[in-house]
Amino acid sequence: MASSLTKGSVTPGTPGSETSFFGHPRGLATLFMTEMWERFSYYGMRALLPLYLVAPGGLHLSAATATAIYSVYVSLVYLLAMPGGWFGDRVWGPRKTVAVAGGVIMLGHLTLALPSSGTFYAGLGLVAIGSGLLKANISTMVGHLYSGPDDPRRDGGFTVFYMGINLGAFAAPLIIGTIGENVNWHFGFALAALGMALGLAQFLIGSRHLAERSSVVPTPLSAEEKSSTLRKAAVWAGIAVVFYAIVGFTGHYTLNWILVPLTLLGVIIPVMVLTRIKRDKDLDRTEQKSMSAYIWFFVAAAVFWMIYDQGGSTLSIFADSSAENSVLGWDFPVSWYQSVNPVLIMALAPVFAWFWLALNRRGKEPSTIVKFSSGLVLVGASFFLFLAPLSIAEGGHKAAALWLVAIYFVQTVGELLLSPVGLSVTTKMAPAKYASQMMGVWFLAVTAGDATTGLLSIAGVDLNKTGVVALEATLAVVAGVAVWMYRGKVKELMGSVR
């Protein structure tokens, strides 16, 4: 990476003014590498997770239980991004929060590497907590590297940063997945810990290049607020300890005593947050209307992520049991399917960016609503496509790997239509009072979608059955068509936002 550092021409006094990283502040290299290694550890472990849960040499759970655990884990990562952002704003500041998060993530992966089912769930919890702390704060520090929203390098900086995400996500299944599946599951989890250790080490070494404001706590808790927060946390922790002690000692404890409350929280908290914002009397009429429109986008996005994130659980478990995981006679690990999406993102994202600009120049770029509804229809179409390999497997044959690649391709195109638009519309429609919190609200759509998948799995619904897959596909397509049909009403509520 040092070879790409050259003397820059940025304004003296700005962070990283002595050198540049692809024309950006030197601190971007630190954050790029931190995020790349963190995503390497996260996506590597995530690629192994459902396979380890169902494997005879792993925990040997049912597919439904494995899907529930996977879905709860992913929903928690996004749910914890909001309190993670709160810690950065009120307690430690972004830089310290990210450093602590890296340590917690590394400890979580090391715990997963222990050959014990008893410590496995503790490891998952630690990784989820660390990821939530890191996710909200590292992006904030990228923004701190620039002089403000009008800095012409800002958008390009975030583009470079997100390339780090996809590089880590692409490499992880190929390396960690191969070691985990072919050598030893726990070696794979240990390799994820090593990846996070490398990311944390270079973050600590390179942190001198970050903006000074990244170390500042923007709105620190007062002594009274700190005391109140600690008191409330202690009360709730005490209630949980007493409750689970009673359940355990009376012999009634099962895994569902953890999974059900967490999945319910994943559905209830997003509803509560949206309701609280919508009912806030400080919002003016225009902001109230914008929030009414935003709820449409939020619900639709939850449906999208409910299906999309099954690419790492339902599709992965199907591939493990019912797919011919080979190309031209060459076998490959099931976890490698998880590299398809990031490599497609890196290949297609520049094409989409160019395409929208070309249409915009001609005055033909689709509206936000059209892009969003198209993303929903495509993710539904991906599950209609899933019906083909399911039918092949039900006939007693192995489905070709290209069927799964095609499903991931359609889902990736849908993601490129919906996800960037969702991020953009979230920032545009956010009420001024909640400007910094609304990105966390957008992540809650992922939480709600994955929690719904978890609830279905806990209820015993087999998500690899043709009837269920067809129902989910239909739901997504209907939701996409509904958003498009009511685009006039939604546009009216959006006001000047486009």
The pLDDT of residue 19 is 56
pLDDT at 496 > cutoff 70: no
Choose the weakest-confidence range: 248-262, 387-401, 414-428: 414-428
* CB of 74 closer than 8 Å to CB of 340: no
DSSP 398: P
In this structure, the number of other CB atoms found within 10 A of the CB of residue 195 comes to 28
d(C-alpha 267, C-alpha 252), whole Å:
25
Percentage of the chain exceeding pLDDT 90: 59
* CB of 405 closer than 8 Å to CB of 340: yes
pLDDT at 161 > cutoff 80: yes
Query: pLDDT higher for 366 or 189?
Result: 189
Buried b (16+ CB within 10 A) or exposed e, 379-395: bbbbbbbbeebbebbee
d(C-alpha 147, C-alpha 81), whole Å:
25
The pLDDT of residue 490 is 66
Mention every residue, 6+ apart, whose C-beta is less than 8 A from residue 496.
none
Q: Which two tokens stand for residue 207?
A: 């942190």
How big is the CA angle at 194 (ends 189 and 200), to the nearest 5 degrees?
125
Instruction: Give the pLDDT confidence of 162-221 residue by residue, as tens digits.
Output: 888 899 999 999 999 999 999 999 999 999 999 999 999 999 999 999 999 899 888 888
The pLDDT of residue 254 is 82
Instruction: Give the pLDDT confidence of 406-415 residue by residue, as tens digits.
Output: 999 999 999 9
pLDDT at 39 > cutoff 70: yes
pLDDT band at 149 (very low <50, low <70, confident <90, very high): low
The pLDDT of residue 10 is 41
* CB of 370 closer than 8 Å to CB of 417: no
The pLDDT of residue 439 is 75
Mention every residue, 6+ apart, whose C-beta is less than 8 A from residue 268.
none
In the predicted model, what is the mean pLDDT of residues 363-385? 92
pLDDT at 230 > cutoff 80: yes
In DSSP terms, 323 is beta-bridged to 399
How big is the CA angle at 389 (ends 482 and 259), to the nearest 5 degrees?
65
d(C-alpha 371, C-alpha 493), whole Å:
18
In the predicted model, what is the mean pLDDT of residues 382-404? 95
d(C-alpha 382, C-alpha 128), whole Å:
28
- Alpha-carbon dihedral sign for residues 237, 243, 246, 248: negative
**pTM, whole model, 2 decimals?**
0.89
Which residue is it, tokens 């099962």?
Answer: 254
Which H helix or E strand runs over 330?
Answer: strand 330-331
pLDDT at 2 > cutoff 60: no
Per-residue HEC secondary structure of 161-227 comes to HHHHHHHHHHHHHHHHHHHHHHCCHHHHHHHHHHHHHHHHHHHHHHHHHCCHHHHCCCCCCCHHHHH
The pLDDT of residue 218 is 86
Choose the weakest-confidence range: 15-24, 58-67, 136-145: 15-24
d(C-alpha 395, C-alpha 397), whole Å:
6
pLDDT at 107 > cutoff 80: yes
d(C-alpha 415, C-alpha 413), whole Å:
5
* CB of 172 closer than 8 Å to CB of 333: no
In the predicted model, what is the mean pLDDT of residues 96-110? 96
pLDDT at 1 > cutoff 60: no
Q: What's the whole-number average pLDDT of the chain?
A: 88
Instruction: Give the pLDDT confidence of 248-262 residue by residue, as tens digits.
Output: 888 888 888 889 999
pLDDT at 460 > cutoff 70: yes
The pLDDT of residue 224 is 92
Short-list 318, 370, 319, CA closest to 488: 370
The pLDDT of residue 177 is 95
Mention every residue, 6+ apart, whose C-beta is less than 8 A from residue 214.
93, 94, 95, 140, 141, 144
Angle between helix 340-361 and 401-429 (nearest 10)? 50
Q: Measuring CA to CA, how many Å separate 146 from each of 10, 40, 157?
A: 10, 26, 9
* CB of 340 closer than 8 Å to CB of 409: yes
The pLDDT of residue 16 is 43
pLDDT at 432 > cutoff 80: no
d(C-alpha 101, C-alpha 129), whole Å:
8
Choose the weakest-confidence range: 4-8, 118-122, 396-400: 4-8
pLDDT at 123 > cutoff 70: yes
In the predicted model, what is the mean pLDDT of residues 483-493? 74
Which H helix or E strand runs over 61?
Answer: none
**Cα 88 off chain centre by:** 19
In the predicted model, what is the mean pLDDT of residues 24-42? 93
pLDDT at 124 > cutoff 80: yes
**Max avg pLDDT among 148-162, 171-185, 237-251, 348-362:** 171-185
